[in-house]
Structure 1
Amino acid sequence: MKTKTIKLPELVGKGYKSYWNFRGRYDVCKGSRASKKSKTTALRIIYNMMKYDQSNTLVVRKTYRTLKDSCFTDLKWATKRLKVEHLWEFKYSPLEATYLPTGQKILFRGLDDPLKVTSITVEYGYLCWAWLEESFEITSEKDFDTLDESIRGELPPHLWKQWMITFNPWNEHHWLKKRFFDAENDPDILAITTNYKCNEWLDDADLRLFENMKKNNPRRYQVAGLGNWGIVDGLVYENWKEEEYTLDQVIDCDSVDGIDFGYTNDPAAVFIGFIDTEHKKLYVWDEVYKKGLSNKRLYEEIESSHYQKKSYTADCAEPKSIDELRGYGLRVEKSQKGKDSIMHGIQYIQDFEIIIHPRCVNFITEIGNYTWDEDRLGNKINRPIDDFNHLMDAMRYAVEKYAFGRVKVRTFKGGI
């Protein structure tokens, strides 16, 4: 059998020695954008599974559909980075990775299917490790406690039970801070903070992005640049809750759908919702939220989600994009923009109770961080921050025709 010698520090890089070597139950890393926390976790899982026979790993995110383009892709990348891709098989339906020499498995689950999370077994060895990616999406600590119980049972001496927990720290009031970062001298917890400065593979263009952020958006730089806890004060929308509901519960509501365009630095955001003007309820049903989408790809994302027959209001600042989407058959009208259009839309939405389906993880992150801006003295002003606003803008476009009184009767009832 041929062997290859690799230099692990050269492939993994620096900044994660304690995280890599820790064997306590909770190995927690909050970090900035481009801090390589997810890539490092993927490398660690692949490396350790090949090193420690009988080990199996569970990978979890709040919603199953987000796994394919995040953890699953990172783990495939890790096998190539370690030059062992020929020893691994990755399957898409359902998502699964197998270490071919032994049959050890990496299993993928979403909290949106709790039965599949709590009843996990492996054919060979033990389920001993788990990776909870973007754990900030999980707003209920009780949900994590239930998830935590899935890693249980006696293990042989060479293995250990562990959760690898990674996230961006958008809000200091999240339960993750108190549970892990405020804990004192707990041998079962390692909680570290990393940022882009430990990523030696960023090029000059990447670094300029952070330097510009530091200069132009210092508040965001503290979190997305340095990995510090986000300080949230003065939310634009406070009357909202996360609650699972069915289409039957919104059968008498009007459909409201909006699009905010993005590409390189900002995601394209599609808001899918329902409005009940009589009872002042706004339901957030689904979302599309991705960077790097051409208009063609954006239409394909909408189509694959089966929302291509709906009617949208989109950002009027991009008439070319609106025309292109119309060319693909999407019904899109341009939004209205004026001196007070943003504040008018916000004030209209503030009169509603916003009910968010748990699958809308990006919407929950945005609405929980969308705050009023400050002047130079730190006083709140009557203008929202230019951040965490992609789905917020898409929502505002979606309800615009109601906010400006252009709808007299319901135009759509029920269904998708």
Structure 2
Amino acid sequence: MNETIVKVTDLINRNFYPVWRTEKPNVVLSGGRSSMKSSVISLKLVADFLKDDMGNVVCLRKVGKYLSTSCYEQIKWAIYMLGVENEFYFGKSPLKITHRRTKTAFYFYGVDDPMKLKSTIIAKGYVMALWFEELAEFDGVEDIDTVEDTFIRQDLDGKEVKVYYSYNPPRNPYAWVNEWKESKVNDPDFFIHHSTYLQDEKGFLSKQLLRKIENYKKNDYDYWLWMYKGEIIGLGDMVYNMNHFHPLDELPDDDDILLIDTATDTGHQVSATVHCAFALTKKRNVILLDTWYYSPENKSVKKAPSDLSKDFFEWITKIRETYKKSIDRMTIDSAEGALRNQVFKDYSIRLHPISKKKKVDMIDNVHDLLAQGRFFYLDTENNKIFIEEHRKYQWDADTLQSDDPKVVKEDDHTCDAFQYYVNDNLRKLGLKF
């Protein structure tokens, strides 16, 4: 039988050779998007796994539901690239890739609750390597220590568990992962590496992707520095660059609307309720069509949920009739139950509660859309409040030197609604990778 010889040096760029050669037990790979650090880690893990008949590998992400489309597929890709796919069984329930002969495996775990992993048992052999993918998603050093202690406690007769950490640095210099990496620079047990797409000497990246990256660079240089060079650029005072909010006098003739989504931020006694209607176009642009805004402040008689339900139904009916398009998704703050229940009771309309993340992460996804130059708004009277609130939207200066910065919670209702829309439609908008 003819054997195909695969040269690893053909599969990785030269800047990653030191990563491949290092003997240090902890390897930290930071870098910009598309720097191929995850590809190199997966290749290294598979190559080392094949040399050890008793070794197992554990791959981890903070949120378990993302494992199947990230770590799992990345390891599978590396197995195919090395031409050894016939040696493995690819299981999906549980998520596990098993070597047919040795019965050792690649295990994939979410770390939604690190303590749940303390009872994890590997049936055969021992854990030879750990991979923390998207390290910045984890809650902090405590998460990492709890997981590591679970898997490195076994004595391996002089061998050490190899631990890989990969992530794109958050823009906030005070994010825990940035400070943690800095603290490891002089630690003899740690190998620190940074990479960017610009080091792709072998042309693995497509021309289409490179054009897209150049578009980011042209539209928002700071965003490009952070997202694709992996530089820690800081947050600044203002949340958004208003040059990325493009006004339109009317809808473009050459870019038809595909569908419409809505997003709602609800208020209470003195807080406003907001509905925004966003169009997605054939050119993948987003256009703010209309903003509905009600503030109960200084009103002696305030609207009840039944009143707001009626208002919402009339508003959304008008949107449908005006643009002759269907409404695809109607998003609402997950913390709001009164209006959501009232709308369903009155009109059998289900509003979709957004699964909220940290504020800085939700804002980063909005930045991604804006930096691509894809956001527009109809310059109408109704939409003025949207622009005014975004123009004033600021980080809270007292929280900037922390790993969990906050925004100023004042006149930010349309800002929240915009974030709900983007984060509830990431895949549709092409912002989820």
What TM-score, normalized by structure 1, do the two folds share? 0.61
CA distance in 1, matches of 2:64, 2:262: 19
How does 1:184-203 map onto structure 2 within 5 Å?
Answer: 184-199=185-200, 200=202, 201-203=204-206
Q: Would you say 1:126 and 2:151 are equivalent positions?
A: no
The 3-state SS of whatever aligns with 1:101 is coil
Aligned partner of 2:214 in structure 1 is 211
- Cα separation, partners in 2 of 1:191 and 1:184, compared to 1, 3 Å: closer
What TM-score, normalized by structure 2, do the two folds share? 0.59
| Count, aligned residues | 306
Aligned partner of 1:111 in structure 2 is 111
How does 1:9-28 map onto structure 2 within 5 Å?
Answer: 9-28=9-28
- Structure 1: stretches of 5+ with no match in the other structure: 238-267, 283-293, 295-310, 351-364, 372-383, 399-416
CA contact (8 A) 1:52 1:159 kept: no
The 3-state SS of whatever aligns with 2:70 is helix
CA distance in 2, matches of 1:136, 1:22: 23
How far did 1:5 drift?
A: 1.6
CA distance in 2, matches of 1:181, 1:123: 37
Pairing partner for 1:395 from 411, 417, 420: 420
Pairing partner for 1:277 from 262, 268, 272: 268
The letter for the 2-side match of 1:342 is F
- Residue-by-residue CA offset, 1:240-278 (whole Å, 9 max, x unaligned): xxxxxxxxxxxxxxxxxxxxxxxxxxxx9x999985725
Overall identity of the aligned pairs, in %: 23
- Residue-by-residue CA offset, 1:176-232 (whole Å, 9 max, x unaligned): 222223434211111111000223311322222222322221101112221222312
CA contact (8 A) 1:170 1:369 kept: no
CA distance in 1, matches of 2:169, 2:214: 20
The letter for the 2-side match of 1:35 is S
CA distance in 1, matches of 2:142, 2:234: 23
How far did 1:117 drift?
A: 2.0
The 3-state SS of whatever aligns with 1:33 is coil
CA distance in 1, matches of 2:70, 2:106: 14
Provide the alpha-carbon RMSD of the alignment.
4.4
CA contact (8 A) 1:271 1:395 kept: no
How far did 1:103 drift?
A: 1.0
- Structure 2: stretches of 5+ with no match in the other structure: 241-258, 274-283, 285-312, 330-347, 353-376, 395-402, 424-433
The letter for the 2-side match of 1:341 is I
The 3-state SS of whatever aligns with 1:108 is strand
CA contact (8 A) 1:29 1:193 kept: yes
The letter for the 2-side match of 1:211 is E
CA contact (8 A) 1:128 1:161 kept: yes
Pairing partner for 1:341 from 371, 382, 385: 385
- Cα separation, partners in 2 of 1:390 and 1:213, compared to 1, 3 Å: farther
| Higher Cα Rg, which structure | 2
The letter for the 1-side match of 2:196 is N
The 3-state SS of whatever aligns with 2:121 is coil
Aligned partner of 2:341 in structure 1 is none
How does 1:335-414 map onto structure 2 within 5 Å?
Answer: 338=380, 339-343=383-387, 393-395=418-420
CA contact (8 A) 2:115 2:146 kept: no
CA contact (8 A) 1:181 1:191 kept: no
The letter for the 1-side match of 2:268 is T
CA distance in 2, matches of 1:164, 1:133: 8
The letter for the 2-side match of 1:224 is M
Q: Would you say 1:232 and 2:235 are equivalent positions?
A: yes
- Residue-by-residue CA offset, 1:50-76 (whole Å, 9 max, x unaligned): 012311111111110011111111111
- Cα separation, partners in 2 of 1:131 and 1:391, compared to 1, 3 Å: farther
The 3-state SS of whatever aligns with 2:236 is coil
- Cα separation, partners in 2 of 1:221 and 1:347, compared to 1, 3 Å: closer
CA distance in 2, matches of 1:23, 1:390: 48
Greater CA deviation, 103-112 or 113-122?
A: 113-122
- Residue-by-residue CA offset, 1:67-116 (whole Å, 9 max, x unaligned): 11111111111111111111111111121111112111111111114344
The letter for the 2-side match of 1:4 is T
- Residue-by-residue CA offset, 1:11-34 (whole Å, 9 max, x unaligned): 233321222222333211111111
The letter for the 1-side match of 2:420 is M
The 3-state SS of whatever aligns with 2:216 is helix
How far did 1:236 drift?
A: 4.2
Q: Would you say 1:40 and 2:40 are equivalent positions?
A: yes
CA contact (8 A) 1:133 1:165 kept: yes
- Cα separation, partners in 2 of 1:121 and 1:231, compared to 1, 3 Å: same
- Cα separation, partners in 2 of 1:214 and 1:272, compared to 1, 3 Å: closer
CA contact (8 A) 2:239 2:393 kept: no
Aligned partner of 1:31 in structure 2 is 31
CA distance in 1, matches of 2:206, 2:86: 29
The letter for the 1-side match of 2:20 is W
CA distance in 1, matches of 2:153, 2:169: 31
How far did 1:159 drift?
A: 3.9
CA distance in 2, matches of 1:113, 1:81: 33
